[in-house]
Chains A and B, each alone.
Chain A
Amino acid sequence: MPVEQRFTSTEVESSKRYGREFGGAMMWYALFLFGAAYLARVVPLPWRVVVAATPIVPLWFALQAALRFFRRADEFARRVQLEAVGFAFVAGVMLSMAYGLVEALAELPRISWTWVPPLFLALYGLGGYLAKRRYA
């Protein structure tokens, strides 16, 4: 089915806008990340902390882009997104807490906390797939 039949013009425009806003913010994030990684080696403490935290700035704009996309979505799309986010939040908390407990009690290998955000994103994707399948 052609794209223009699967998606309405409002959806296509909204997705394009989201792509521009989110993609732009992530491009700045990558630049900030590399810049911070370089500068953190040459800047002394306590400024190193400030430099290391600067990638949060473009992430804030990425968050704003995601929220604007969510608000532009129609009521059914918001329901699906809510179920996806709800699933990711509950399952993510349960899995990370459960592994944390097992890790401490059964002396399993320590996994860095930086794996938690990718876990949440993967669960958000799975939650979206499950919610869409439920209403298809």
Chain B
Amino acid sequence: MRNTLKVLRAERDWSQADLADRLGVSRQTVNALETGKYDPSLPLAFKLSRLFARPIEEIFQPEE
């Protein structure tokens, strides 16, 4: 899955650790999400959606 997490995070001037703290996950988790090496569970995807006030499909897009 592709995602816009890095851009959304940069817009808010948050570090990976800042985002991790807000999500209650580790910094490694945020890094794996941003690089697209790990796809989040639905609860974590909804958390991200609420945090960035964007629909899930706007943050995550399936690879073509």
**B-contacting residues of A (Cβ < 8 Å)?**
4-11, 73-77, 79, 132, 134-136
Contact = CB atoms under 8 A, between A and B. Distances in A.
A66 B31 CA distance: 25
Nearest to B29: A76
Contacts of A4: 17
B15 A8 contact: no
Main secondary structure of the interface of B (DSSP, over half): helix
Given A4-B17, A8-B25, A135-B28, 19 more contacts: A5-B15, A7-B26, A8-B17, A8-B21, A8-B24, A9-B21, A73-B26, A74-B24, A74-B25, A75-B25, A76-B25, A76-B26, A76-B32, A77-B26, A77-B28, A77-B29, A132-B28, A135-B32, A136-B31
A11 B28 CA distance: 11
A132 B38 CA distance: 12
Interface in B16-43: 17, 20-21, 24-29, 31-33, 37-38, 40-41
B51 interface: no
B44 interface: yes
A132 B15 CA distance: 20
Contacts of B15: 5
A11 B26 contact: yes
